[in-house]
């Protein structure tokens, strides 16, 4: 069984590919036209991306949008995490957090699945944690080197293997919900 993930991010693809294979699903990557709406809501962005990809492909597919929401920074960088990462990066975020007592943060993910002629269905996941005092680890991508999930052993996402990160991650949670719904629906 094939399933198309509309993304230009190889890291995201690798993270969920393994999870899909457990269910006998072969994931394919589709690097479609990049057109995202500008919204404060990940769900809206994911839905829009899924519709754009589905319209271009004329086949069922899903898209994902994620962001890091830092409490002391009022939700920054949030839905604009990708641009913030490309410009100020982990070091910029650490600089913004200098002297900040509250280091609480949350990664959120929204996955939108779309079939031609239908409205997209959305699945969400989140993981709470805190911003590390310095970058650690070389795995993952984006802000992973400075995010420590609650419930872990103090390592950042970038210090974990994909399997370890998936035990906590926002994306894995959203994808798990989606997969269960998808499998159930195929059976019905």
> Which amino acids are annotated catalytic?
65
Please tell me the distance from the alpha carbon of residue 145 to that of residue 90, in angstroms, as a whole number: 8
73 binds a second copy (CB under 8 A): yes
Least distance between a second copy and beta carbon 62 (Å)? 18
Closer CB to a second copy, 27 or 96, in the complex: 96
- Kindly tell me the burial class for residue 34, based on how many C-beta atoms sit within 10 Å of its own C-beta (0-12, 13-18, 19 or more): exposed
H-helix or E-strand spanning residue 109: strand 104-114
33 binds a second copy (CB under 8 A): no
Q: At what angle do helices 170-187 and 10-22 cross, to 10 degrees?
A: 40
Least distance between a second copy and beta carbon 141 (Å)? 17
56 binds a second copy (CB under 8 A): no
Count Cα atoms within 13 angstroms, Cβ side, for 179: 22
- The pairing of beta strand 121-131 with beta strand 147-149: antiparallel
35 binds a second copy (CB under 8 A): yes
* Binding span for a second copy by CB under 8 A among 12-20, 86-94, 146-154, 165-173: 86-94
Q: Give the residues lining the site for a second copy (CB under 8 A).
A: 35-40, 45, 73-80, 83-84, 86-88, 92, 95-96, 98
């Amino acid at each position: 069984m094939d399933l198309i993930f509309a993304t230009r991010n190889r890291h995201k693809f690798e993270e969920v590919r393994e999870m899909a294979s457990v269910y006998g699903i072969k994931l394919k990557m589709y690097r479609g036209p990049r057109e995202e709406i500008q919204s404060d809501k990940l769900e809206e962005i994911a839905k829009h991306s899924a519709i754009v990809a589905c319209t271009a492909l004329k086949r069922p597919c899903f898209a994902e949008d994620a962001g890091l929401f830092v409490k002391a920074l009022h939700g920054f960088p949030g839905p604009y995490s990708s641009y913030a990462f490309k410009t100020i990066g982990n070091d910029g975020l650490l600089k913004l957090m200098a002297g900040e007592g509250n280091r609480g943060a949350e990664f959120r993910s929204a996955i939108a699945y779309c079939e031609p002629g239908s409205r997209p269905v959305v699945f969400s996941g989140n993981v709470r944690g805190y911003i590390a005092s310095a970058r650690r680890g070389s795995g993952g991508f984006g802000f992973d080197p400075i995010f420590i999930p609650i419930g872990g052993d103090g390592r950042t996402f970038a210090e974990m293997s994909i399997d370890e990160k998936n035990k906590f991650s926002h994306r894995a949670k959203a994808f798990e919900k989606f997969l269960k719904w998808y499998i159930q629906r195929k059976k019905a």
